[in-house]
Homo-oligomer: A and B are copies of this chain.
Amino acid sequence: MSTFTHIRDGQPSMVDVSAKPSNKRTAVAEVHVDLGADIVSKFENNDIKGPKGPVIQTAVIAGTMAVKNTAALIPFCHTLPIEHCGFEITPRDQGITIRCEVATSGKTGVEMEAMTGAAAAALTVYDMCKAMNKGIVIRDLRLISKTGGKSGDYRAESA
């Protein structure tokens, strides 16, 4: 499809999905947060009193709540019953990689929910670490894969 799905006669508009069948759909989004060596070094220690637990868990919770709240953030997103939402946060040389997977049974996909959840988790990590490094960069937020829906499945090439 090569047109803007949200534009009707020059006015933005919600896409009508009332005639579409409801089926299972999933989406996975990914984002990287470049924290810098100083902060990453603090993640070595896995003790409960250490920072990793709270930072990562706070990001997971903020991301999960954002996934459920996506339709209130993105003007033309449809409200969908989120049946699953999971996060995978893994360390990388100078930072972390956040993956957000979302599943629903509905008439439209959950790409925006996965993208929004990953973004909110990354912003939360930024918020909890920014006092130590104002140069943190949230980069390459993108869709990794989606399943379900008439446009078929999708998997990012480099993924």
Contacts and interface: CB of A to CB of B under 8 A. Distances in A.
B131 A54 contact: no
Contacts of A105: 18
Interface residues of A, number: 96
Nearest to A107: B83
Interface in A66-92: 66, 68-69, 71-87, 89
Contact of A72 (B54, B65, B86): B65
Is chain A's binding surface mostly helix, strand, loop or mixed?
mixed
A58 B78 contact: no
Interface string A145-159: 010000100101100
Interface in A100-120: 103-107, 111-112, 115-116, 119-120
A65 to B, nearest CB: 6
Contacts of A66: 73
A79 to B, nearest CB: 5
Given A16-B84, A18-B24, A48-B50, 15 more contacts: A1-B131, A4-B131, A11-B57, A11-B87, A12-B54, A12-B58, A12-B61, A13-B60, A18-B83, A53-B57, A58-B61, A68-B71, A73-B73, A111-B130, A119-B119
Interface of A: 1-18, 24, 38, 42, 46-58, 60-62, 64-66, 68-69, 71-87, 89, 103-107, 111-112, 115-116, 119-120, 122-124, 126-132, 134-143, 146, 151, 154, 156-157
